[in-house]
């Protein structure tokens, strides 16, 4: 029962993000949660420089920084579709992974950005304490370059 509830919460959160509402996703994070976004791009550098290495490096710390990330996400009109959700562990130490693909629709009907990702979260009693996004960071950097060309 718990695992199906977690899957429902993730689907609901992403559905609201797709509609431009980050509030449901933000409410799932603990006040001191962290987000690790990969690569060297404007998304990972919003608050601090990315670090190299095998250990997760939180690029966003606390709800205010995560809120800024989510606000930017919906401002860009990014859409996400879930391919699979895996949930494991007890409610006081659960982990979940959502395999997704995401894209930004372009004005001509094509996509100006498309990627695949795994969003891995660690939770404590229903609140996300850490999230790591695993995706092709070169595609993210390419999207940054596209935005720079469009802007100027």
Q: Which domain holds residue 9?
A: 2-151
Given a contact cutoff of 8 angstroms between Cβ atoms, the answer to whether 16 and 27 are in contact is no
Task: Count CB neighbours of 129 within 10 A.
Answer: 16
State if pTM tops 0.85: yes
pLDDT tens, residue by residue, 17-75: 999 999 999 999 999 999 999 889 999 999 998 888 888 889 999 999 999 999 999 99
Of 67, 98, 104, 71, which Cα lies nearest the Cα of 85?
A: 98
CATH code for position 90: 3.10.450.50
pLDDT tens, residue by residue, 81-132: 999 999 999 999 999 999 999 999 998 889 999 999 999 999 999 999 999 9
Q: Domains in the chain: how many in total?
A: 1
Is 1 a residue whose pLDDT tops 80?
no
């Amino acid at each position: 029962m718990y695992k199906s509830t977690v899957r429902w919460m993730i689907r609901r959160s992403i559905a609201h993000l797709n509609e431009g509402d980050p509030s449901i996703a933000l409410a799932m994070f603990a006040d001191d949660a962290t987000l690790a976004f990969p690569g060297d791009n404007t998304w990972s550098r919003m608050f601090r420089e990315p670090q190299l290495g095998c250990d997760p490096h939180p690029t966003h710390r606390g709800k205010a920084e995560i809120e800024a990330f989510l606000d930017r996400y919906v401002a860009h009109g990014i859409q996400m579709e879930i391919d699979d959700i895996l949930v494991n562990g007890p409610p006081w130490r659960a982990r979940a992974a959502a395999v997704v693909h995401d894209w930004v629709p372009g004005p001509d009907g094509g996509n100006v950005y498309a990627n695949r990702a795994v969003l891995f979260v660690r939770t404590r009693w229903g609140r996300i304490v850490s999230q790591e996004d695993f995706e092709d960071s070169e595609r993210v950097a390419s999207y940054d370059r596209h935005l720079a060309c469009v802007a100027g």
